[in-house]
Amino acid sequence: MSGLRLTRRKSVLRTAAVAAVGVAVTSLCSQYSLGAAAPEPLNADPDIHWFGSWDQTTAPGPTDFFATPSSQSGLSVMATQLVGSAIAGKPLAIKVEGIPMQGAVAGPLFNTQYPPTNKAISYVFTDFEASNKGTNLSNIATTVGQVRGSSVSTNAYVGGFDLAPLTSSDPFRRGALTYTKTDYDLVQVNMANTVLYPGSPTYRNTSTGDWGNPNNNIRTGLFVGPIGRMTAVQSALNASYNGANTTAVGLPFHKQVPYVARFNNWNNSSLDNDPSPGFQFHPGRPLGGLTATQTTDQMMGRGDFSAQIMHYRMRGAYSVMLLGEGANSGVEGYSSADAQQDVRDGWYGASDSRVNHANNIFNQPDNKVATMTLNPIIAVGGAPVSQSTEVNGTIWSGVYSLSLKQLDILASNLDSAGHILKFGTVGTAGVDATDVFTIKTANGYTFDQPDGVGGRSINLEAGFHRLLQFDLVTTRVYKSAADLVANNSNYDTKQIWLVNQNYQVFSNNAGRNDVGIPEPTTFGMLAAAGSMAVICRRNRSKKIEA
């Protein structure tokens, strides 16, 4: 079939389906309501990776991204876009903003399977930002009730903006939690929509005066702060909500789909060093007690953002909702296409086959998270010390499969000083705990020095990300480097994770001096157009913590 004929056929199909919705959504419901469906996976075999995009309201959307039409657009528009997503073979998702939908809107939406493939709505992202938390929780509960009470979309994932099952463990936070585990349980959601914006005023940083990094490194906080929050939420999901199951979908298996961006410093005066109205972070200018030199290269680069995305996946995130697009990109000159590509590159290595190697491990049924630590082992004075990533700016994450006999580790150092990072054991004690070794000889032997860093560490340069690939092998582990060189009998034969490759990855970091903003519209422009100010404030409120 020629491309022209195929395009024409798709166009006819789309036109017919959209027309059916436009004429009468209720008749569509009666025609296609075929019973409850399981939520469509956002990640399955190596070729399936779906991400949300807040500003992508129309179908079909760019590669790998699904549309999220808004409740503010009305029933007909939402249904039309859902049909468009179904035709494109993408998961169906909506946003419910401002107030809950009326039953006359929610009923047809959630009780319909959309043609031509009879898909149900699988993901519902709510965003209620009243000044009263109780009102927001009530509105979320109303939406959950509408979804669970439907005949078709009852199994969908439903979440609330910034709603996650935390108690007090948000390690790098400033201020109180917006919502708690009690709130999460009360409204009976099954998707944690954690807010992970580098630059948010809810994170501590060198610029806030209460950060532990001795090198006055803003970039450290921008990078590891969100990873720390994501880790805390995923640990809670794993402990109480079957979050560690990476393959099953449905009501009992809660997922984390966090809101992500490369940068957003809305309402954060500690990252504002521009005299004009608004919030702008200019690397290379003085900021508070920091000199211009100390703020140079302190923006999150594009490679840093991709690395951050990969850390999220390696620690258990199910997908992401991207807010770093277009007018809301958070960085001057950073386009929607740039942000989308950075997510792809981080999640499955779209532009780098070395990173894509990890994707194959993720898609094994027995894949497991390698670590959730926020206290890596760093060589201090030649001795290994467990030290907070807040202090050293260094963090590592990984994924492994015993059936595949492969382990991939991403190690990042966003500090301004290099560090020697030592790996310990990957796996569960008494089950599959296995030591990790980073040095080997040509014949596949290695060595260990229990009191030092030995053959189990890497030199992690300042500002770099490294991807290490390991094989599960049985080999000689000598007692020291000297024994290894002498090739004597002072060794044990062990099963270990032994390094295969050590790559520098995500090196596209020329953007570390880019200007960070909440959005490019200045307050001066808003003052000149009052009606626009109202609209822009409303748009902005969707993208910040309440």
Amino acid 509: pLDDT: 85
Domain's final residue, options 161, 179, 211: 161
For range 78-102, the mean pLDDT: 97
Q: What is the pLDDT of residues 131-167, one digit of tens each?
A: 999 999 999 999 999 999 999 999 999 999 999 999 9
Per the model's pLDDT, the better-predicted residue between 132 and 30 turns out to be 132
pLDDT value for 452: 76
Find, among 539, 444, 529, the residue nearest to 494 by Cα: 444
pLDDT for 451 equals 75
Closest residue by Cα to residue 103 from 75, 127, 69, 128: 75
- Using a cut of 0.85, tell me whether the model's pTM lies above it: yes
User: Does residue 462 belong to any structural domain of this protein?
Assistant: yes
Q: What's the pLDDT at 519?
A: 54
pLDDT tens digits for range 278-321:
899 999 999 999 999 999 999 999 999 999 999 999 999 999 99
- Do the domain assignments include residue 180? no
Element (H, E) at 419: strand 419-422
Structure tokens at 159: 């979440």
Average pLDDT over the chain, rounded to whole? 88
Range of the domain at 428: 368-510
pLDDT value at position 325? 65
Residue 474 has pLDDT above 50, yes or no: yes
Residue 12 burial (CB < 10 Å; 0-12/13-18/19+)? exposed
Does residue 45 sit within a domain?
yes
End residue of a domain, out of 161, 191, 217: 161
Which of 33-37, 295-299, 460-464 bottoms out in mean pLDDT, i.e. has the lowest? 33-37
- In this predicted structure, the answer to whether residue 431 has a pLDDT above a threshold of 90 is yes
Average pLDDT over residues 262-278: 93
Residue 327's pLDDT is 57
How does DSSP classify residue 8? H
Give me the mean pLDDT over the 102-114 stretch. 97
Compute the average pLDDT of residues 258-284: 94
Answer whether residue 450 is part of any domain: yes
Q: Is residue 404 part of a domain?
A: yes
What pLDDT shows up at residue 309?
98
Specify the number of domains making up the chain. Answer: 2
Q: What is the pLDDT of residues 372-401, one digit of tens each?
A: 999 999 998 888 999 999 999 999 999 999
pLDDT at residue 527, rounded to an integer = 31
Q: Is 273 within a domain? A: no
Distance (Å, rounded) from C-alpha 472 to C-alpha 394? 25
Helix (H) or strand (E) holding 485: helix 481-486
Give 544's Cβ-side CA count (13 Å radius): 22
Q: Is residue 313 part of a domain?
A: no
Gap between the Cα atoms of 523 and 535, Å rounded: 13
- Cα–Cα nearest to 486, from 455, 445, 450: 445
Please name the residue that has the structure tokens 């070395």.
Answer: 354
Domain assignment present for residue 477? The answer is yes
Domain final residue, candidates 161, 193, 220: 161
Q: What is the CA radius of gyration of the chain?
A: 25
